[in-house]
Amino acid sequence: MTIKKEAAFHEAAHAVTAYYSKFHSIVLGIDLEDYGAGEIFVSLSKSKCIENGKPPSAETAKDKEVSKELAVILCSGYVGELIAAETDPSLNPSRSSAGPDYQLAVQNLKAAGLSHKYDFHHDNARTFLESKWDVVNKLAEHLFSVKKESAENIIKFIENA
């Protein structure tokens, strides 16, 4: 299987957005060679929830603020591909490969009693990623080079970028 550079930008965007989020953390690494099954995983962070005044419980996942943040994290993968393609015309962003992310965003938003339209969250992902693009770009290049990275090393990379 040929690994597409778009996948590196997609996963780097998720990672950077999750790292800087108020309520979520990166919990598993990225394996571009197992793309699809090896995507980055994020979860509610007990410590981040407590720091930001939310109880660290399963019900917190349905909190409107927490749900909106997760929608931004989920939308950020495809948005990262789009931003990368704006400066590298050889890249071909694939909305269909981001389908599971958008389905999960819709499911999560509905569970929180929010509108399942994700355009607003998509726009927020773009604004955030543009502000952190140097980090996303460096991480994507690194991931494309190494193909596989642990959550711990991704976090260290972002902290040092």
So what's the pLDDT on residue 36? 57
* Whole-prediction pTM: 0.94
- Per-residue pLDDT at 123 exceeds 60: yes
Percentage of the residues of the chain whose pLDDT score is greater than 70:
96
Q: Which of 14-23, 67-76, 98-107, 127-136 has the lowest mean pLDDT?
A: 98-107
Q: Which tokens hold the place of 131?
A: 């502000």
Stronger pLDDT, 141 or 2, i.e. the higher one: 141
Average pLDDT value for the chain: 92
The string of pLDDT tens digits covering residues 34-90 is 855 457 788 999 999 999 999 988 899 999 999 999 999 999 999 999 999 999 999
Residue 105 and residue 74 in contact, taking contact as beta carbons nearer than 8 Å: yes
pLDDT band of residue 2 (cuts 50, 70, 90) is low
Q: Tokens 């990623």 map to which residue? A: 129
Stronger pLDDT, 94 or 142, i.e. the higher one: 142
Q: What average pLDDT does range 94-121 have in this prediction?
A: 90
Q: What average pLDDT does range 83-99 have in this prediction?
A: 92
Domain count, the chain: 1
Residue 40 and residue 19 in contact, taking contact as beta carbons nearer than 8 Å: no
Which CATH number belongs to the domain containing residue 145 in this structure?
Answer: 1.20.58
- Residue 20's domain comprises 5-160
C-alpha–C-alpha distance, residues 24 and 45, integer Å: 5
pLDDT band of residue 149 (cuts 50, 70, 90) is very high
So what's the pLDDT on residue 3? 76
C-alpha–C-alpha distance, residues 41 and 26, integer Å: 6
